[in-house]
Amino acid sequence: MSTLAESLRTIGLAHTAAELDDLIALAIKRRWSPTQLLDHVADTEQRARAQRSLDRRVGNSKLGAFKPIVDFDWAWPKRIERDTVEDAMKLGFLGEARNVVVVAPQGLGKTMIAQNIIHAALLAGHNALFITASQMLLDLGAQESTRALDRRLRYYTSRSLLCIDEIGYLSYDARNADLLFQVVSRRYERKSLILTTNLAFSEWPTIFPNAACTTALIDRVVHHAEIIAIEGDSYRRREAEAAKASRRPKPKA
């Protein structure tokens, strides 16, 4: 049995090898024919490989933990185009190399929306990456040679979907603006981007105050893009106030 299991692993049937004893017992119990046994092996191997592939994509995506979209409180924002969000979750923009830009003040769920779109893409078989603007620019800026920088740029431009989160929370110099412009330009009309920002595009020059490429950067982002604008008060502030209220001592009767 150990020799058979090793042979199965050698030809790529890792799941069958790992479950060999249980598989044989099941085949005997159900009195499977050779064809039924092979059908079962093919089916379980396909499902196991699909799960391993998904696990790899999720691990490589750097997505981390997130709240599912079913937990989103659509009634809280003063303005949100729910249809546009739900349409983005269907991933039609990927086939057209369009972008999705979520614009909202802090605490209104823009990152949550972006994470759920990334997760939907992973489930659909796409290679996706979720990263904050500061993390990506720090990584690119740390490269010490042109060759190393080009290799990292290829890393960020090779994924079928890239989400750059939290553009606008920090200001960057012209060097960082040029690096972001290179990522956007390499993906322009080839592969989709998701961007989240707390600033309207008219305020983006404050993010890159000394950069000459800001206008060109915005132009490439919005040229083929769905803009999801959210207005309202912060969820987190509401939750903090509710938690504070729950801790107050109740008045005595």
Q: Which of 127, 229, 149, 218 is nearest to 177 (CA)?
A: 218
What pLDDT is recorded for position 235? Answer: 75
Domain 69-238 - what CATH class? alpha beta
What is the number of alpha carbons within 13 Å of residue 208 lying toward its C-beta?
23
What is the average per-residue pLDDT within 105-134?
A: 97
pLDDT per residue as tens digits for the range 157-204: 999 999 999 999 999 999 999 999 999 999 999 999 999 999 999 999
Q: Which of 139, 23, 149, 121 is nearest to 63 (CA)?
A: 121
pLDDT per residue as tens digits for the range 209-253: 888 899 999 999 999 999 999 999 997 666 666 666 566 666 665
Residue 144, pLDDT above cutoff 80: yes
Q: Which of 173, 174, 223, 155 is nearest to 195 (CA)?
A: 223
In the chain, % of residues over pLDDT 70 = 92
What is the number of alpha carbons within 13 Å of residue 175 lying toward its C-beta?
9
pLDDT per residue as tens digits for the range 10-65: 999 999 999 999 999 999 999 999 999 999 999 999 999 999 999 999 999 999 99
Domain assignments of the chain as residue spans, ordered by start: 2-61, 69-238
pLDDT per residue as tens digits for the range 81-118: 999 999 999 999 999 999 999 999 999 999 999 999 99
Rounded to two decimals, the pTM is: 0.85
| pLDDT grade for 2, boundaries at 50, 70 and 90 | confident
pLDDT per residue as tens digits for the range 37-52: 999 999 999 999 999 9
